[in-house]
Amino acid sequence: MPTTLTPTTLSRAGYDHTTNAVSAASGGNNWANTGNEVLVVTNGSGSTIAVTETTPALTDGQAVTAKTVSVLAGKTAMIGPFPPSVYNDGSNLAGVTYSAVTSVTVSVIRFPG
């Protein structure tokens, strides 16, 4: 079961990932998605991890292939945005899973729109 993240709206005051980040959940994470969000993933581990974007939507009756993003050891990646028509589930949540969560922190930034 995914753990829900609360997006932080970006402002001119800036955004501090170290303050807003939480540990990645072993069951994945999800968030209320408007299409104006990006997921920030910091991989503090010694190995590359894979972040897989959940795709519950259908296009022309066919399942959309999930995308996977590699986050190198010691690096931070910003992933997104996530178009709601492709990534949102029935509760308007977008989600991701991780190949590993040890020393991995995540947060969601919402761009004002």
- CATH number of residue 38's parent domain: 2.60.290
Which residue type does 99 have?
A: S
Question: What pLDDT is recorded for position 17?
Answer: 80
State CA 24 to chain mean position distance: 10
Question: Which of residues 20 and 92 earns the better pLDDT score?
Answer: 92
Find, among 71, 65, 67, 77, the residue nearest to 100 by Cα: 71
pLDDT bracket for residue 1 (50, 70, 90): confident
Distance CA 12, CA 104 (A): 27
In eight-state DSSP terms, residue 66 is P
Kindly provide the b/e burial profile for residues 12-50, where b requires at least 16 CB atoms within 10 angstroms of the residue's own CB.
eeeeebeebbeebbeebbbbbbbbbbbbbbbbeeeeebe
Write phi, then psi, for 80 (nearest 5 degrees): 135, -170
Domain count, the chain: 1
Q: What is the pLDDT of residue 14?
A: 86
Mean pLDDT of 75-83: 96
57: three-class secondary structure by DSSP: coil
pLDDT range class, residue 56, cuts 50, 70, 90: confident
In 3-state terms, what secondary structure has residue 18? helix
**Domain that includes residue 90, residue range:** 3-110
**What pLDDT score was predicted for residue 101?**
98
